[in-house]
Amino acid sequence: MTNLELFYFIGRCLAMDNNSENKLRVMDTIQQDGVSWNRFVAMADGQLILPALYLSFKRNGVLPLLPEELAQHLAYIHQLNTERNGAIQEQIDEIQQLLTQEGIEPIFLKGAGNLLDNLYNDPGERMMGDIDFLVSEDDYIKAAKILISKAGYNHGNYAPGVEHMTHHYPRLAKAGAHADVEVHRLLVPGKASRYFNYEKVYPERKACGDKGQYYVLADKHNVVENFLHGFIAEGAAYSMLSLKTLYDLYLLSERTDILSTLKEFNHYNGKARAYLKIMYNVFAIKNDEALKSTWHYQSYMFRFRLYMKSRFWYKMLWTPYYVAERFNESYIGSFIGVFTNKNMRASVIARLKDPKWYFLHLKSYKETFDRFVGQPKR
């Protein structure tokens, strides 16, 4: 089984509940010893979906077909993640209480929002890296300062003024906390924020929780955020498919018509159809209208297949794009901003005066390369 075949096999494993063909294909592949379980675990772990796979296997009676050691390992990972998500829930409760006391109404996003909204079959299904929430521009800095002063979070070292240049406040961390926190003033970076922002989603925010004490995105806005974050912000540029993000979209498709939702959004239409086609194919869902091939889809999948097949050629395609994008946005953009924006000017001057910044800046290149093109073959 090639890397690409393994990727699609894992997709089928996640989508067995309402798809008997997927279930039969998965069981048949396992019974014929067609799976390299070490590679399976490595890829699924890298995609942060081991707990979701465990639950899917359990619901569909597949666990007895797995090697006993693997089944036990998956159960253990799920248990750990359930406990961790419980601790993250406590963090969310603290954040909610502190902010509402000050008249700030956070809208929780991504994994945290989906957890509160009961999108998942089990509280331990989704692995989360941080807690994201959106507030108005007026409450943005105030919300971050409340968490710093009253909850013990800190942002580490960062250049002054940068908080006004990014779509979220510098990541907040706290000793002993299970998740970092990102306070968003924008839902997504870049020009997409012109079409999809706080003013767009706030009127239709959804109350959830046993007392309706939390707010999350409406389902249709959650679909759009998933598309913009998972495909426009990173995916389309770097041809990286996140099974975790695609699985969220798959679960949302059971609640709402995602094709109609993205048509209503009416931006990036070609890329939106490509993203849906990818999702349908990964989870082996039949949908004739959405499965019409597009240029965006063909281009994206060419790069993705290359990534799965050959790290060397993927690096050759990806590196010039990344360097050019960063040079244009970070260097030329900052240079122009020095003369047009006082926050940008203060931020650039502070960074250039700080010797640590040069080291951290170079380190950021290495971390990005490690993330996108430095992953070991599985």
What pLDDT, on a 0 to 100 scale, did the predictor assign at position 376?
Answer: 36
What pLDDT, on a 0 to 100 scale, did the predictor assign at position 246?
Answer: 94
Q: What is the pTM of this model?
A: 0.86
> What is the token pair recorded at 119?
């999108």
What pLDDT, on a 0 to 100 scale, did the predictor assign at position 296?
Answer: 81
The Cα–Cα gap between 189 and 20 comes to 39
Task: Give 215's strand partners.
Answer: 107, 207
Taking the chain (378 residues) in runs of 10, the rounded mean pLDDT of each run is: 91 94 96 92 94 97 96 97 96 95 95 95 93 94 92 74 71 91 90 90 94 93 94 67 92 93 91 90 80 78 78 69 70 74 74 75 71 44
The Cα–Cα gap between 77 and 50 comes to 7
The Cα–Cα gap between 229 and 263 comes to 17
What pLDDT, on a 0 to 100 scale, did the predictor assign at position 374?
Answer: 44
The Cα–Cα gap between 185 and 154 comes to 18
What pLDDT, on a 0 to 100 scale, did the predictor assign at position 355?
Answer: 78
Map 59-113 to HEC letters.
HCCCHHHCCHHHHHHHHHHHHHHHHHHHHHHHHHHHHHHHHHHCCCCCEEEHHHH
What pLDDT, on a 0 to 100 scale, did the predictor assign at position 377?
Answer: 36
